[in-house]
Amino acid sequence: MKATDRPANGYCSRSYRRGGGGGGGGGGRGSVSGNVMLIASILVLSVHYGHAQDFGYDGAKGPSHWGEQYNSCTGKHQSPININSLDVKKVNLPPLVFQGFDVAPRETNLTNNGHTVVVTMESEVTPTVTGGPLKGVYEYSQLHFHWGDNDTFGSEDMIDNHRFPMELHIVFFKQEYKNARTALNHPDGLTVLAFFYEIAPIDNPMYTEFIELLGNVTGSHLSARFDTPPSLKDLLAEDLLHYYTYDGSLTTPPCSEVVTWIDFKEPILLSHAQVQAFRALEDEEGHPLTHNFRPVQPIGDRVVLFNTDEMIKQVELDEEHPPEPEGVDTNKLEPAKSASDEAKSPKDPSNRKHPRNAASTLPGAARWTLFALALALIAQVVRC
């Protein structure tokens, strides 16, 4: 497979179409490297999106029809969701550990796959993330974006019924599963670091080349290569401590429920013109790709956690009832739970009383009955 140049906005030497013929400059080694990255991009995209031609965002291929071909899209733990900040459970999770996020890749490609724009990279140090809600090390796969027709909506997850104009998804697979394809077969196979965007009055300089390259990939299945590849850190917000996290799914078919979502609270700032550049991309049928977000799904029995630096009693997340230390008055450790607090319990969302709590009232009732009978007997003896 060779790259063909496609003149566009003066960046023709960095733009190519999948499967095209013709020559490419830069020598044999550069050509081989470019072909390897192109093949890797195709493999990654096919893994994450399944059969790309089988879904869209409008009409017969829209989200309401995805379940007709992909059963998982009608599951009970789907994404995205609306996160109510008043209903989240505040926690102190271990710090997230980011490795390789500050290392600029050797090569980074930007691809319009007809549904979104995707970034793949080749680096001497593959970015990984661990810690927080994650058990194990997760390795970078790709990143992509979701946006809307205008600046009032476009993100997939919502915060307090608010949609942001755009959302960034950085996809990682669990290292022990070797690759993204096999990771789809495990409930903890993937994690997605999600960042929201807000509109600022001026351009974000860290996205300058990124936005310029979008002009080279307007058509579906076009790719462009960065002259100066950015590190992941260059594209992200600064606050990586405060975030929401929950268990969910891919937001595109096959909608596999294998994703630990980590939604960072602090948004990234872009200008209106920078976000508008995404809306100029075209889908597989040549129509403007003005929106590519899935509607929110029912949260069901899930509880969203919010990581904070506030001091909170640490509780094992996978225990239904944390063990009570022997010989210690637990009322001194934390205040009694209110009805609203119990409604947030990740294992008892319906706020039903635990059976052991109901049973504990019977011995007390029996004692009062015996005491009343004893008083009656004493009164009878006195009268005699």
Q: By the 8 A CB rule, do 349 and 343 touch?
A: yes
Residue 313 identity: K
Which of the residues 48, 77, 115, 146 is marked catalytic? 115
Q: By the 8 A CB rule, do 263 and 281 touch?
A: no
Residue 146 a catalytic site member: no
Residue 87 identity: D
Phi and psi, residue 33, nearest 5°:
-60, -45
Angle of CA points 333, 309, 154, to nearest 5° = 125
Query: 127 is written with which tokens?
Result: 């970015």
CA 215 to chain centre: 27
How far, in Å, CA of 37 to CA of 43, rounded? 10
Instruction: Note the residue count of the chain.
Output: 384
197 Cβ contact list (under 8 Å, min separation 6): 155, 164, 165, 166, 167, 168, 267, 268, 269, 270, 275
- Reported as half-sphere exposure (CB side, CA atoms, 13 A), residue 368 has a value of 4
Task: Select from 287, 316, 382, 319 the least CA-distant residue to 61.
Answer: 287
**Annotated active-site positions, please?**
115
